Amino acid sequence: MTQQELRVAVIGAGMAGRAHAAGYRTASSIYSTTLPNIRLVSIADANEQLAEETAARFGFERFDTSWQAIVEADDIDVVSVVVANFLHREIVEALLASGKHVLSEKPLSDNIEDAEAMIEAAGRAAADGTLARIGLTYRRSPGVAHIRDLIQSGEMGKVLHFSGYYWTDYGSNPQAPISWRYKGPNGSGALADVGSHLTYLAEFVAGSDFSEVCGGQLSTVITERPKPLGAVVGHEGGAVSDEYEPVENDDVASFSGTFAGGGTATIQVSRISQGHPNTLGFEVFCEKGSVLFDFRKPGEFQIFTPSTSNEISQEAGYRTITLGPNHPYWRGGLAMDAPGVGVGQNEGFVFQARAFLEEVAGIAEDQSLPRCATLEEGLHNMQLIDAVSQSAANAGATVVVPVLEPAHS
């Protein structure tokens, strides 16, 4: 690497891997700070055809068929790890040991022990200036970031209650093939897959971590699925055999929680909600009003503030705010950054890639483009999910959530 160039690879060519690849490809085109030249080197995946197609699609120089090839390569500096959760530890540790900067997809791993080991590896790597971060992409939504700012400013008063849901339907078809997503202990299904997003958003928006959870419930609705006849990519289906395997984890999950800074939360997540391909929403009730956000309409949010008069207005209710250049990420972060032009989940991966590349390049942090989350934050999210699983295994009992530990300096 030279100061003029950062050389990038992505391990994993599935749905999220393609989002990381697209993010790196676009990162240089947003904001005014000049990045070093970004050289797109390799996409790696065990599925050779998928690796080749993804590399060609996003302009990477080559493709590889193993993560080991990325570790051993001497022409790569920055790597996104976007593969099955149980593979994260081995890959991330090897990449860090080879001196490569790593951005890992969430969740950090599939078990607490491996996540803690990854943090230890990150600490050793940090001593040599090598970075390890985790992508919590939904934090990058302009609407979500603005709602957090509203609450942190005190304008809405204290948070009283957060009510959130994340409903998806990728598992609603009982003939969808079995994959790694349906394997692992209870709590590693919908709760870890989509619930991890909603839980870190709850803490992000409220400005406070969960101190305890209770009322945990985990349900497996579809108890077995057919074996695939070929590779399973992302949430896509495909041909299946007549042989079935048991589903080991949860299709539906819910719990209640208490924030350390005050206020409570209720969370619901599902992967079998027909009619909801990707419905994430939340409502925050505060002392001085309420705020509502729905990712199906990510270019706007709704806010309610009560009348200051003694009479209750007949017109009382939420009003819709259209996002624009005065909101986070918007000005300079979008090619067409006028109000109301629209923004979605894909842009979050661009903002994330840009933030990571700027940190690797040593560019001073800009408050409008905060750094990516630390592995310690990824571990905390896993500990929260684990606490919910413990609550569910003990008839909804209250379980204390470990305090977030500070990151390695």
| Side chain identity, residue 112 | I
What integer pLDDT is reported at residue 2 of this predicted model?
Answer: 43
Distance separating alpha carbons of residues 265 and 215, to the nearest angstrom = 11
Task: Classify each residue of 310-338 as buried b or exposed e, where b means 16 or more C-beta atoms within 10 Å of its C-beta.
Answer: eeeeeeeeeeeeebbeebbbbeebbeeee
What integer pLDDT is reported at residue 1 of this predicted model?
Answer: 42
Q: Given a cut of 60, is residue 222 above it in pLDDT?
A: yes
The mean per-residue pLDDT over the stretch 278-296 comes to: 97
The mean per-residue pLDDT over the stretch 366-381 comes to: 94
Name the residue with higher pLDDT: 4 or 395.
Answer: 395
Q: Given a cut of 80, is residue 334 above it in pLDDT?
A: yes
Per-residue CA distances from 39 to 59, 61, 63, 118 (Å): 10, 9, 14, 27
Q: Which helix (H) or strand (E) holds 244?
A: strand 240-246
Q: Which domains, from first to last, does the chain contain? A: 5-137 (3.40.50.720), 142-341+381-391 (3.30.360.10)
**pLDDT per residue over 108-126, tens digit each?**
998 999 999 999 999 999 9
What integer pLDDT is reported at residue 341 of this predicted model?
Answer: 92
Q: Given a cut of 70, is residue 408 above it in pLDDT?
A: no
What integer pLDDT is reported at residue 367 of this predicted model?
Answer: 84
